[in-house]
Amino acid sequence: MRLSYREALNQAMCEEMERDPNVLLLGEEVGHYQGAYKVSQGMLQKFGEKRVIDTPIAEAGFVGVGVGAAMVGLRPIVELMTFNFSLVAIDQIINNAAKIRQMSGGQFKVPMVIRGAGGAAHQLGAQHSQSLEAMFCHVPGLKVVMPSTPADAKGLLKTAIRDDDPVIFIEGELLYGNQGEVPEGEHPIPLGKGDIKRAGSDCTIVCWSKMVHLALAAAEVLAKEGISVEVVDPRTLKPLDTELIFSSVAKTHRCVIVEEGWPFSGVGAEIAHRIQHAVFDELDAPIERVTAMDVPMPYALHLEELVVPTAPKVVAAVRRALYLAAPTA
């Protein structure tokens, strides 16, 4: 069936809530307002106020409520309107959710999903345009999921809800309206399993969430020049499907990593390290990265475009990896 990314997420939550009475949704505007991005549209009518819970603007409070409720057996889905606001709840996420299993010697688990929009949208300025996945990936105890398509969004969210660990589920703010084919019925996707979004032989592009669509656009441009690009979408950043990435690089011998976040200590830096360490002899060129510029996001449209990754920047990076252009410094 054809669904939008938004509808796919909604279906995943509804199906899991129908299946398991311990699953509930809480967050700002999720109920009566029908969701700030309409992801929870209709859920209040379907499940009532007991299970679809509007919260005040108190992220530390309601994320913490999710952690405590999860410790005693519920499976809360906590919606953050955007992941920028995770920063006011970061103590709950890093010090509580991520650590309780370990600190308690395995006595308590925290089966919760913290989900919401991430990444830049259009001209939202420095505080509303962040890609914070690297920060969450840095923390042991968290899993980090970033789907790029409606099918992945549904399959991964269902798995995340059933998972016994805290899952950071970052949705692409600009992907909610994207349409795509979603399999009928159950198709849970395991966390830690990547997907080849386009097969190719000359260069691997590792990318996730919104960046997959840039990479696919770049691949089209490059195909016209006779360059065959393989687009690898790990879908889950932690745990990471390194096997899929390594096998693709072993085939193409060249790699570009595209991420929407900042370059310094970015997820791409870690992936590049792992590639060079595991398949050093397979590489015919240095690994290239395309990231946001290392600056807070500016507001003006032309400046924002200067800062974020774009398809032409990805095309240029692939050319560098193929020694068709000068490498970056």
Partner 1 sequence: MNKSDQNAPTAQPENHEQQRALLGDLYRQMLLIRRVEEASAKAYAQGKIGGFLHLGIGQESVCVGAIAAARKTDYVVGTYREHGHYIAKGGSPKEVLAELYGKATGSSGGLGGSMHLFSQKNRFLGGYGIVGGHVPLAAGVAFASKYRDEDDVTLCFFGDGSVPQGALHEGLSLAGLWKLPIVFICENNQYSMGTPLYRTLAVEDVTERASGYALARDRFKGEDVLRVRERVGVAIERARKERQPTLIEVITYRFRGHSMSDPATYRTKEEVEEWKLRDPVPLARQRLLAEFAMPEDQLVSLEAAVKAEVQEAVRFAESSPPAEQESVWKHVYADPALDPRST
* Tokens found for residue 228: 């065959």
Cβ 239 to partner 1, closest distance in Å? 5
Residue 133 annotated to the active site: no
Q: Is 239 in the site for partner 1 (CB under 8 A)?
A: yes
User: Of 64 and 194, which has the nearer Cβ to partner 1?
Assistant: 64
Per DSSP, what are the bridge partners of residue 170?
116
Distances (CA, A) of 230 to 54, 202, 321: 43, 7, 13
* Alpha carbons within 13 A on the beta-carbon side of 150: 20
DSSP 297-315: PPSSHHHHHHHS--HHHHH
- Nearer CB in complex with partner 1: 73/226: 73
Whether residue 113 contacts residue 169, with contact meaning beta carbons closer than 8 Å, is answered with yes
Q: Which of 7, 16, 59, 260 is catalytic?
A: 59
Candidates 31, 118, 141, 172; binder of partner 1 (CB under 8 A) is 141
Scanning residues 57 to 86, which ones bind partner 1 (CB under 8 A)?
58, 60-74, 76
**Total of residues contacting partner 1 (CB under 8 A):** 45
Q: Which two tokens stand for residue 81?
A: 């309107």
Half-sphere exposure of 217 (CA within 13 A, CB side): 13
Looking at residue 211, its amino acid is: M
Backbone angles phi, psi at 113, to 5 degrees: -115, 130
Least spacing, CB of residue 43 vs partner 1, in Å: 16
Contact indicator for 100, 72 with CB cutoff of 8 Å: no
Smaller CB distance to partner 1: residue 104 or 127?
A: 104
Q: Please say which residue, 39 or 89, places its beta carbon nearer to partner 1.
A: 89
The verdict on whether 59 is a catalytic residue reads yes
Question: Contacts with partner 1 in 38-57 (CB under 8 A)?
Answer: 50, 55-56
Show contacts with partner 1 in window 87-126 (CB under 8 A). 91-92, 95-96, 100-109
The three-class DSSP label of residue 204 is strand
Q: Which helix (H) or strand (E) is 275 found in, with range?
A: helix 267-278
Site membership for partner 1, residue 129 (CB under 8 A): no
Residue tagged active-site, from 29, 128, 138, 282 = 128
Interface with partner 1 (CB under 8 A): 24, 50, 55-56, 58, 60-74, 76, 91-92, 95-96, 100-109, 140-141, 143, 163-165, 192, 238-240
Query: Which residues are marked as active site?
Result: 59, 128
